[in-house]
Amino acid sequence: MNICVFLSAADLDERYTRPAREFARLLGKGGHTLVWGGSDVGLMKVVADGVQEAGGRLVGVSVDFLAAKAREGADEMVVAPDLAERKRLLLEKADAVVIMVGGTGTLDEATEILELKKHGRTEKPVVLLNTAGFYDGLKKQFRRMDAEGFLPRPLTDLVFFAEEPVGALAHLEESRGIR
């Protein structure tokens, strides 16, 4: 399965890198392909290293202004002209999506895939990996949106919240009929 991971390119501490390494190892050992933003820095590098070390494939989609930070040695690397095209290509190449910790770019990517799902434009499974409670506030906000009628589909149809990497991958494999 091609699993797109939206995540930070920042250098982060162990409470974020440990679960990211664990997820990457599980992804690679499971024979899956990482589809990611292509950067060879920060948490993006941690995940790409882990997937590659565990025997998985790497498909990167960078963007012109970040191409100097693109990972060499990926199985496939595409450089998009802008962020909108990058997101489109990432989603096009993916069978499923995992949202890990990140900043505004990750939040933008997360809300775009959820908006597409909300309107029935994709049925790809989406998992929000809530490492160290990072997305507790967002989870609460999504639940409020659901409870107060802002979502035309139940929240559980849009996103699965996982607290640990093993649960995130298990959900994706089950939703795609793997196992």
- Is there a contact between 20 and 100 (Cβ–Cβ < 8 Å)? yes
Give the pLDDT score at 24: 98
pLDDT at 176: 80
The domain that holds 119 is classified in CATH as 3.40.50.450
pLDDT of residue 177: 80
Q: What's the pTM?
A: 0.96
CA 161-172-143 angle, to 5 degrees, is 20
pLDDT at 156: 94
pLDDT at position 157 is 94
- What is the structure's pLDDT at 179? 57
Q: How far apart are the first and last CA of the chain?
A: 12
Beta bridge partners of 5: 98
Along the 179 residues of the chain, how does pLDDT read in single tens digits? 999 999 999 999 999 999 999 999 999 999 999 999 999 999 999 999 999 999 999 999 999 999 999 999 999 999 999 999 999 999 999 999 999 999 999 999 999 999 999 999 999 999 999 999 999 999 999 999 999 999 999 999 999 999 999 999 999 999 988 75
Residue type, 60: G
Count how many domains the chain has: 1
Domain encompassing residue 71: 2-176
DSSP state of 64: G
Helix (H, G, I), strand (E, B) or coil at 77: strand
Neighbours of 7 (CB within 10 A): 28
Separation of alpha carbons 37 and 21, rounded Å: 16
